[in-house]
Amino acid sequence: MLVGVPKETKNHEYRVGLVPSSVAELVHNGHEVIIETEAGTGCGQTDADYQAAGARIVNSADEIWSQAEMVVKVKEPLDFERKKLNPDQILFTYLHLAPDEEQTQDLIESGAICIAYETVTAPNGSLPLLSPMSEVAGRMATQVAARCLEKEIGGRGVLLGGVPGVPAGDVVILGGGMAGTNAALIALGMGATVTIVDRSADVLRRAVTTFGTAIRTVFSTRDAIYRLVTGADAVISTVLVPGAETPKLLTADMVRDMKSGACIVDVAIDQGGSSETSKPTSHSDPTYIVDDVVHYCVTNMPGAVARTSTFALNNVTLPFTLAIANHGYRRALGLDPHLRAGLNVHKGHVTYKAVADAQGLDYVPAEAELKL
């Protein structure tokens, strides 16, 4: 199979779909790989590194989109990239379609086979291709919150860890999954007072087992969320419903009643965000203020630490990329129900129910679409 990797085009996105060691694995398995020139520069991978791994360097993204049988990316294709998709071309990347009707329609019209990293599953029910980026985003979220609380940004002027004689900052984390756990890890390390809120008693028990009495846990109800966020210095939302739009846990009224200069870091913004006041932002303009509350809603947070993120992502995506290339997408999806769960759009049909439900579109199960 001819596999292509274009340079990412999203604002300050420095990750890349394949690193040289992944290219070498594909080449070893008999595949051809083409890489857009300087695609890996942002995470320290040179054209010479790719050539040494067996890739062919091409001068433009157009060559990737026009030639490759499978395009491997990191972030969803932007509108001008979606116009370059070809019928029967395989797109393997993060898509986050539920809140993005325009992208969904473009992918439907393209006739392409669109497999989303974020809905590929594992036997234990986890999301293995989302987990490493959730780890990164969770750890970054606390760093970001600490910065957003600085007065220069519009924050309260609170140091998360406090100092002797001055209380530590109060951090509330909505969602105790992978991102939430990692946000808590860093917040506790900074010395903050940390509360995890979740609807799963098992998740809350796991948090206590992991962090002991250093962590506070609260079962999620509307009243509990209101009480906690209105008393918090920083709210980090990591809530995720796989493949679906994030529920709005923070109402505009709650935000209005938060402390002046408090901050919200909405890690869930990729799936629409969990606050009614959230809107997507970029690394070049990451924050805005609503009702004296600083909002950070960057849709590609891990792109800022591109080297760490790229290698962490490649560690988990490579086996699936190899499976698709080695077997062809139909057989690969037929053999592996967990990879099949990643199929969101197939030749004009939506094959992921949460996306179809979110946008009122017809849904065709992947098994029916692939005639399995």
Whether residue 324 contacts residue 332, with contact meaning beta carbons closer than 8 Å, is answered with yes
Is 12 part of the annotated catalytic residue set? no
Give me the amino acid identity at 19. Answer: V
Length of the chain: 372
Biggest CA pair distance of the chain: 67
What's the sign of the alpha-carbon dihedral 158, 163, 164, 168? positive
Is 349 part of the annotated catalytic residue set? no
Which residue in the list 31, 96, 295, 346 is annotated as catalytic?
96
Which residue in the list 31, 270, 295, 346 is annotated as catalytic?
270
- What does the alpha-carbon distance between residue 93 and residue 105 come to, in Å, rounded to a whole number? 17
Write the DSSP symbol of residue 122.
-
What's the sign of the alpha-carbon dihedral 162, 256, 177, 308? negative
- What does the alpha-carbon distance between residue 160 and residue 199 come to, in Å, rounded to a whole number? 26
Strand pairing partners for 250? 275
Q: Cα-Cα-Cα-Cα dihedral of 167, 188, 213, 203, to 10°?
A: 130
CA dist list (Å): 112 to 95, 104, 164: 13, 11, 59
Give me the amino acid identity at 258. Answer: M
Give 200's Cβ-side CA count (13 Å radius): 12
Whether residue 313 contacts residue 15, with contact meaning beta carbons closer than 8 Å, is answered with yes
Output the CA angle 294-299-301, nearest 5 degrees.
85
> Is the backbone of residue 38 left (phi > 0), alpha (psi -120 to 50) or beta?
left
The alpha-helical segments, DSSP class H, found in the chain are: 20-28, 47-53, 61-67, 79-82, 101-110, 131-148, 178-190, 201-211, 222-229, 252-256, 306-327, 329-335, 337-340, 353-359, 366-369
Q: Which residues are catalytic?
A: 96, 270
